[in-house]
Amino acid sequence: MIFDIIKRSLSSPRVLISVEDLFTNAEGSRMPDVDAMSLTASIARRVVDSCGICALAMDDVDERMVLSLDYGKCIGCGHCIEAGEGAFFIAGRILCGVDRQSLVRRWDVESGTEIVSDEVAMTDDANQIRSIVGRALNIRQVDGGSCNGCEAEIGALSNPYYDLERFGIHFVASPKHADMLLVTGPITRNMAEAVKRTYEATPSPKLVVAVGACGCSGGIFAQSPEVVGGVDSVIPVDTFIPGCPPTAAMLLTGILQTLRTNRISPLRRN
């Protein structure tokens, strides 16, 4: 029987997600997007009231009614889509591997337009490590108190469909060998010191990526007395990958986006 399985596997077409299909792909994340032209004041108030995690908020900015959506808090529960009367729908693409500010989108409800803000520049360490790692990157994954949902998606990165190593990216067992820390979960009080020591043990320059809603903001556990907060409440963070959990495609997109530069990229082939 095992030989039949091998025979079928070898005769099947090769399945490997392409880079074009990979970037910003959020299919399966259940996270929302917004049709700004369909927004009304009543819909905006209703979706804000429906959001139990407070990822949605309404503010008056220069006498304008502004709706904001924080993907760093969003867990993809779908309540806003149910209450949104078509103005909210499941997102096909979401930015990953960006700064914290870029995870917050805003819309002018009255004009039905999105308010676009400038992207914040990366840290000096982030720019320096890009010029060093070239086509190779070693990642140490750190669990600061995760439910293991993000870890399940991270494990999928090594399968033949996503094939992380085709980009020259590898997971390592020690932070002393790492260029990047991929940190999951809200940082619990019991793990805060361990996360700090892991960060200190990682040689500079280094990159830190906060993973999932919990890593970005503390998620649904943010108000727990046993939780310190998101990853950036304990160590400096360069970029964030939203989701609860983020899909494997979002994770890989976020890692590659963090590394992307005009000079050197793991996607470049000589």
**In the prediction, which pLDDT does 265 show?**
38
Residues 98, 240: contact at Cβ < 8 Å? yes
Give the domain CATH number at 142. Answer: 3.40.50.12280
Same domain, 155 and 108: no
Same domain, 32 and 103: yes
What is the Cα–Cα distance from 195 to 238, expressed in whole angstroms?
15
Assigned domain for 172 exists: yes
Segment 226-251 shows an average pLDDT of 96
Same domain, 60 and 90: yes
pLDDT tens, residue by residue, 7-36: 665 666 667 877 777 777 888 899 999 999
Give the domain CATH number at 111. Answer: 3.30.70
Q: Which domain holds residue 86?
A: 22-115
Same domain, 152 and 82: no
CB-based contacts of 139: which residues, under 8 Å, 6+ apart? 169, 170, 171, 172, 178, 179, 180, 181, 182, 255
Same domain, 146 and 246: yes
What is the Cα–Cα distance from 195 to 183, expressed in whole angstroms?
9
Residue 2 has pLDDT above 90, yes or no: no
Same domain, 66 and 89: yes
Assigned domain for 188 exists: yes
Which one is predicted more confidently, 133 or 189?
189
181: helix, strand or coil: strand
- 90 burial type by CB count under 10 A (0-12 exposed, 13-18 middle, 19+ buried): middle
Element (H, E) at 43: helix 41-50
**In the prediction, which pLDDT does 108 show?**
95
pLDDT tens, residue by residue, 157-208: 998 888 888 888 899 999 999 999 999 999 999 999 999 999 999 998 899 9
Same domain, 151 and 224: yes
Q: At residue 159, what are phi and psi to the nearest 5 degrees?
A: -80, 170
Got the DSSP string for 61-118? ETTEEEEEEETTT-----HHHHHTTTSEEE-SB---SB-GGGGEEEEETTTTEEE--P
Assigned domain for 196 exists: yes
Last residue of a domain, one of 79, 95, 115: 115
Segment 67-90 shows an average pLDDT of 96
Number of structural domains, the chain?
2
The beta strand positions in the chain, using DSSP E, are 32-34, 56-61, 64-70, 88-90, 104-108, 113-115, 137-143, 169-171, 180-184, 187-188, 207-211, 227-229, 239-241
Last residue of a domain, one of 62, 86, 115: 115
Assigned domain for 265 exists: no
What is the Cα–Cα distance from 142 to 263, expressed in whole angstroms?
29
Segment 89-112 shows an average pLDDT of 93
Same domain, 110 and 135: no
Same domain, 247 and 145: yes
Assigned domain for 27 exists: yes
What is the Cα–Cα distance from 194 to 244, expressed in whole angstroms?
23
Same domain, 183 and 206: yes
What pTM value is reported for the model?
0.86
Assigned domain for 4 exists: no
What is the Cα–Cα distance from 175 to 97, expressed in whole angstroms?
20
Assigned domain for 6 exists: no
**In the prediction, which pLDDT does 27 show?**
87
Same domain, 140 and 110: no
- As a whole number of Å, the CA-based R_g of the chain is 20
CB-based contacts of 178: which residues, under 8 Å, 6+ apart? 138, 139, 140, 172, 202, 203, 206
Nearest to 228 by CA among 265, 192, 199: 192
What's the full length of the chain, in residues?
A: 270
CB-based contacts of 98: which residues, under 8 Å, 6+ apart? 119, 239, 240, 257
Assigned domain for 8 exists: no
Same domain, 92 and 134: no
Last residue of a domain, one of 62, 90, 115: 115
What percent of the chain has a predicted confidence (pLDDT) above 90?
66
Residue 261 pLDDT class (50, 70, 90 cuts): very low
Region of poorest pLDDT, from 176-180, 230-234, 257-261? 257-261
**In the prediction, which pLDDT does 51 show?**
96
